[in-house]
Amino acid sequence: MPPESDHPLVLFVCTGNICRSPMAEALLRRRLSPDSPWQVESAGLSAMDGAPASLGAAEALRERGIDIGAHRSRPIASADVQRARVIVTLTRDHRDELLAAFPEARQKVFLLRSFDPAAGDDRDIDDPIGGTVGTYRGCRDRIAAAIPGLVEFLEELQASGRSPAL
């Protein structure tokens, strides 16, 4: 296996790791080029271990030709934070909770919607859990809108070899 530095990690973090972060993980994987060195994973701040993605998240991505049926939730661990080069949270509360637990990660934690120039001050992606498929579609689309900016950031970061602070 190549050295870990050859495969930098992007880690998406939400609450339960069954809706938003698995959708973000799958959407970023799809968008990255096949030769991208980036690994993409997700975890939850309050996640159970081993739960499947929510039906709404699975359906919203299936409509885009993405299958997340193999996804299983997992709680975030200290090793994840240490391994990740970039950590992307779905809300400001996720960011704040993550940084309260892992203050050493400050330079590598970003809000997903900070990569969406149309987001303005509306930076949080609300939890669709319990909502309609339409609610999940809206969540998916808000995530998807930020992915191109995130990909650009990751490509620049990788090319520069610098630390991930914006």
Residues taking part in catalysis: 14, 20, 127
- 41 in the Ramachandran plot: left (φ > 0), alpha (ψ -120 to 50) or beta? beta
Of 52, 51, 46, whose CA–CA distance to 98 is shortest?
46
- Cα gap 43→2, rounded to integer Å: 24
- Cα gap 121→35, rounded to integer Å: 34
Q: Which amino acid is at 125?
A: I
- Cα gap 54→56, rounded to integer Å: 5
Element spanning 44, H or E? strand 39-44
